[in-house]
Amino acid sequence: MSKNKRGLRGLAATAAFGVMALGLSACGGGDAGDGGDDTTTVGFVAVGPEGAWREANEQNIQDTFTEEAGYDLKYAPATNLDQKSQIDAFTSFVDEGVDVILLSATESTGWEDSLKRAQEAEIPVILLDRGIEPDDTDLYVTRIAPDNLEVSESVANWAVGAFADGAKYFVLEGPAGVSVVNERNEGWDKVMGGNAAFTKVGAQTANWSTDEAKSVMETALKANKNDIQLVFAQNDEMGLGAVQAVEDAGLKPGEDVRIATIDGTKGALEALAAAQLSFVAEYNPLFGETAMEVVEKVLDGEDVEPYIIVPSETFDSPEAAEAALPERKF
């Protein structure tokens, strides 16, 4: 898409939604003509409140796509993680004629009609973090995210190395129907599926929640007479809930039960530094600059890869966590 076309779309949107534009400009302390054709309007269909990782990710996007950088970012978080509210926001952005839509989907399915509508309006869509199913790359430009398969495989490979004789393990999963949950299961199972030394005693969603994870793990420990040596928590908050359940059961996290998590938030690294967690795989949320570069390329008519992987790292010891904490931004 050319810059001229972007400018024409911006003018049309201003004509159709003048009151809204004036209101948004007033909130920013300027007037309706401040950005002119140089302002890129971005609709951000977001997830909203969902833990430390999500907060860091969405704040990073908002801090990147600023008025000073030449953007009018319209942030639309979901209402209670409800997909319908996301679809409504997406539809509004298409009707308004934004230049580009950033989408972090609460559900992986059910997006075909919305994406086709954006395509018909010649509005490019960029997926942030979560993928969609079916994964039809003709309906969106690219997905920007860390590689969930690689991240979860790193957790499983650590577990294989940490338990020479195998272990009984439990998986704390994120919400059903979310692409990252499916991918994290796939990566873990790729390593663990054929390993006879490891026994899966159960798996249950705890919806990314510390409190729910504590409750789920309390039940799992009782059902298995505390005979669980390993917990794979698909995010940090659930891993911290597992720590509480293990301690309440009179067991020692890090010794009797080793807990591995994904995300790499400050709270998880602090728990790893205290030897409560045993392994933390980062799922880097700070890719606002990458997203901005991709938006510029797309609107200038340049080609981009269909999946742009955000580099992430792992932490396998209290020392590694302590070294990372002073610079941790999320």
Domain 3-145+285-299 has CATH 3.40.50.2300: yes
Residue 113 — pLDDT band, cuts 50, 70, 90?
very high
- Residue 27 is predicted with a pLDDT of 38
Distance CA 299, CA 302 (A): 7
- Residue 30 is predicted with a pLDDT of 37
- Residue 21 is predicted with a pLDDT of 35
Residue 37 — pLDDT band, cuts 50, 70, 90?
low
- Residue 107 is predicted with a pLDDT of 92
Which carries the bigger pLDDT value, residue 306 or residue 36? 306
Distance CA 276, CA 320 (A): 14
CATH of domain 148-283+315-327: 3.40.50.2300
Mean pLDDT on 274-282: 98
What phi and psi, each to the nearest 5 degrees, are found at residue 55?
-60, -45
Q: Report the percent of the chain where pLDDT is more than 90.
A: 84
Domain-wise residue ranges, the chain? 3-145+285-299, 148-283+315-327
Distance CA 223, CA 153 (A): 27
Mean pLDDT on 5-21: 35
Which residues sit opposite 169 in a β-bridge? Answer: 200, 230
Residue with tokens 């728990």: 271
- Residue 25 is predicted with a pLDDT of 34
Mean pLDDT on 35-52: 87
- Residue 252 is predicted with a pLDDT of 98
- Residue 300 is predicted with a pLDDT of 96
Residue 38 — pLDDT band, cuts 50, 70, 90?
confident
Classify burial at 215, counting beta carbons within 10 Å of its beta carbon; exposed 0-12, middle 13-18, buried 19 or more. middle
